[in-house]
Structure 1
Amino acid sequence: MTATLTVGETAGADGDFAAPADVYRFAELLTGAERAVLAELRAVLGEHVRPLLADYWERGEFPYQVLPRLVELDLMRPAAITAEGGEPSALYHGFRTFELARVDASLATMYNAQSGLFRTAVARGGSAGQVAALDPRIRSFDYTGVFALTEPDHGSDVARGMATTARRDGDEWVIDGAKRWIGGAFTVDVIVVFAAEPETGALRAFLVPRESPGLTLRKIGGKTALRMMQNADIALHGVRVPESARLPNVHSFADVAEMLRRMRSDVAWIATGVAAGAYEAAVRYTTTRTQFGRPIGGFQLVQEKLARMLANVTACLGAVVRLTQLQEGGTFRDEDSALAKMLTSLHMRETVALAREVCGGNGITLETDVARFHADAEAVYSYEGTHEINALIVGRSITGRSAFNR
């Protein structure tokens, strides 16, 4: 079986690597070694992942059997890139997310839960010893985890309203509370639980083993988006962890905001990939679907919609590529990542709607891929900062006045 490539796409590292939606060829900013790694990823996704997606999406289950194939590629720090003493660039990490998301949003979300959320929490919140010991294991998926911040009653306002508590009891901490929407929690080794210390108000973070006594997980069912992603409600009742399980560099929500500032750009890349995947699926359909004696891609109204979709993806790629370049240069600002998440999510939402529209009635079936992108986009639009919250972060930077202070 050969890899599934979309219209006009090649997977060669030295040839035309750019995806069909990347008409301005931003991928040419990558090194040859980086393109080679991503070409291998693209081939694996086409051969081993894409054929499974419709079935697993409809069942609301994740195809965990694909994870070992992704782990084998060593995508976080590939030897093919580091062999000559180099390190994968921030753009490589962005395009890795883009490649995953243009195949499936749940797949990108699941992988980034480990490579982005969990790895960043340990890297930014952990001690030097913890990072040295755990980061290689995180990269190899030998040590897996998820990021548990959101609560049942506190999402956008979790910075001020966190209800989960952690109190010191000798050499241990006792954690009580609840977390919600924690994707991938059912199969990981540990859950990074954020909790407030009642006595001081300080924020703490802990590596809590998933099978700890007093910790229970319940699958959130009935979802109409990211159906493959297994999200959990987590309850913590008197969960005890040793002091060694605490990430010592987390003291306040400012430390968490520093993590989110770095990770929000990952979600902007996911939104861009979802838009690209929907556009490419729409092109495949409209160039093969015949009505009135010719492919519908030859109709003016369809072409106008395809052009708008491509313009949206191009704008998104321009935004995330430049944001990533700025961050790699050391510029991390809340308003920059918030603007990118806001812009890409808006363009993604319009793009998936247009993709479903040009596919007509078949656009609501899983056969075309468009329906999956259309539904999953709604989750991406909301997580890691809703449109409104990101807009207020940008508005604060514009006016110098915070709309949060009421």
Structure 2
Amino acid sequence: MTEKFPFHVIPKLGALGIAGGTIKGYGCPGLSITTSAITIAEVARVDASCSTFILVHSSLAMLTIALCGSEEQKQKYLPSLAKFSTVACWALTEPDYGSDASSLQTTATKVEGGWILKGQKRWIGNSTFADLLVIFARNTTTDQINGYIVKKDAPGLTVTKIENKIGLRIVQNGDIVMKSVFVPDEDRLPGVNSFQDTNKVLAVSRVMVAWQPIGISMGVYDMCHRYLKERKQFGAPLAAFQINQQKLVHMLGNVQAMVLVGWRICKLYEKGTMTPGHASLAKSWISLKARETVAIGRELLGGNGILSDFLVAKAMGDLEPIYTYEGTYDINSLVTGREITGLASFKPAVLSKRSRL
């Protein structure tokens, strides 16, 4: 477990023909969101980090260009990204702004022929080796959020890998620092003019992320099912013991329920009736159930359950960042809560300066 990215698998991932997911044209597969989500789950079933690599590249960076880019930008960037000939990342989160992403402080100042970007980004997957970086910054004139495509060799741009993660260890998350990075006008994304425009992308990516825990849970169930039939104690396979069968059935029931919620949210999106609350509920609830499912799997493997060799311990670690990114469990719950009550509760109540006595 060296936290090194397996670059040799990129051509193989490209050969799968799934990069670009729902994007039509430009060498992209034009899949339904249901089909695209299932592909992410199947990759996560084998390795969660590879699914995250694809998701960042495809459902965030590529989709932003497809939904918010000019025709020239789509023609220029999407074909090579669809083949993984080039790799992209997506930079919204900052050191001081995670859940409160709309308050980001990276700035974009208009100059002759382009823009000057100044600021920092954190936790950006693929950023240490990405050819293209989709960066969000605050326009100093309008005070609105704009989007930009930054090349990896841009002067003033530095990226440092974040070390010592307990999950998704081969995903190369980075700290990005921009010291007066020039971006030409042709690389400003014309369709990003406010934070609401990023939600067009997040609506899709949140659905896709919800299918990652489904895939992880399926992989853990596969491992436990095989292990219980092969390993013997007290002269019998572990699968012959009632309590182990009950736990295995519990896991299977969870997986079935998670798949149905994931399927439902995809169909709502395809009908054009999915709301932010729908997507947030699916992502938060599925990731919560996956945590429970993988914890049961860890129990079934006994001492071997804490060894990364048996996949289950690795899956437990990989679920933790997924439980947090694309909106934490708590934030996604509050998004849904706001939708069903009409009352936002994201910010703490302002304390009154007047004594109640």
In the alignment, which of 35, 52, 56 is matched to residue 92 of structure 1?
35
- AA in 2 matched with 1:165: T
- Spell out the pairing of 1:241-280 with structure 2 (5 A cutoff): 241-280=183-222
Take 1:368 and 1:284, find their aligned partners in 2: how far apart are those partners?
11
The RMSD of aligned alpha carbons is: 1.7
Scaled by the length of structure 2, the TM-score of the pair is: 0.92
Paired residue secondary structure (2:127): coil
1:234 aligns with 2:203: no
User: Structure 1 residues 77, 337: CA separation in 2 closer, same or farther (over 3 Å shift)?
Assistant: closer
Take 1:89 and 1:237, find their aligned partners in 2: how far apart are those partners?
40
1:122 aligns with 2:65: yes
Aligned residue number for residue 70 of structure 1 = 13
Take 2:181 and 2:77, find their aligned partners in 1: how far apart are those partners?
22
Aligned residue number for residue 75 of structure 2 = 132
User: Structure 1 residues 286, 393: CA separation in 2 closer, same or farther (over 3 Å shift)?
Assistant: same
1:389 aligns with 2:331: yes
- AA in 1 matched with 2:2: R
Which piece of structure 1 moves more, 134-143 or 299-308? 134-143
State the Cα distance separating 1:77 from its structure 2 match. Answer: 7.2
User: Structure 1 residues 243, 87: CA separation in 2 closer, same or farther (over 3 Å shift)?
Assistant: closer
Aligned residue number for residue 184 of structure 1 = 126
Which piece of structure 1 moves more, 173-182 or 273-282? 273-282
Aligned residue number for residue 402 of structure 1 = 344
1:154 aligns with 2:97: yes
State the Cα distance separating 1:388 from its structure 2 match. Answer: 0.4
In the alignment, which of 328, 331, 334 is matched to residue 270 of structure 2?
328
Paired residue secondary structure (2:146): strand
- Contact 1:203 1:252 (C-alpha < 8 Å) held by counterparts: yes
- Spell out the pairing of 1:1-400 with structure 2 (5 A cutoff): 58-76=1-19, 87-159=30-102, 161-400=103-342
State the Cα distance separating 1:199 from its structure 2 match. Answer: 2.6
Take 1:257 and 1:75, find their aligned partners in 2: how far apart are those partners?
22
- Contact 1:272 1:317 (C-alpha < 8 Å) held by counterparts: yes
Take 1:331 and 1:131, find their aligned partners in 2: how far apart are those partners?
27
Take 1:135 and 1:93, find their aligned partners in 2: how far apart are those partners?
17
State the Cα distance separating 1:89 from its structure 2 match. Answer: 2.5
- Contact 1:76 1:93 (C-alpha < 8 Å) held by counterparts: no
- Contact 2:19 2:54 (C-alpha < 8 Å) held by counterparts: no
Paired residue secondary structure (2:34): helix
Take 1:198 and 1:133, find their aligned partners in 2: how far apart are those partners?
28
State the Cα distance separating 1:275 from its structure 2 match. Answer: 1.2
- AA in 2 matched with 1:197: N
Paired residue secondary structure (1:385): coil
Take 1:199 and 1:389, find their aligned partners in 2: how far apart are those partners?
30
* Structure 2 unaligned residues grouped into runs of 5+: 350-357
- Contact 2:159 2:177 (C-alpha < 8 Å) held by counterparts: yes
- Contact 2:20 2:58 (C-alpha < 8 Å) held by counterparts: no
- Contact 2:59 2:201 (C-alpha < 8 Å) held by counterparts: no
Q: Deviations over 1:46-69 (max 9, x none)?
A: xxxxxxxxxxxx111121111111
Q: How many residues align?
A: 343
Aligned residue number for residue 46 of structure 1 = none
- Contact 1:335 1:393 (C-alpha < 8 Å) held by counterparts: yes
- Contact 2:73 2:187 (C-alpha < 8 Å) held by counterparts: no
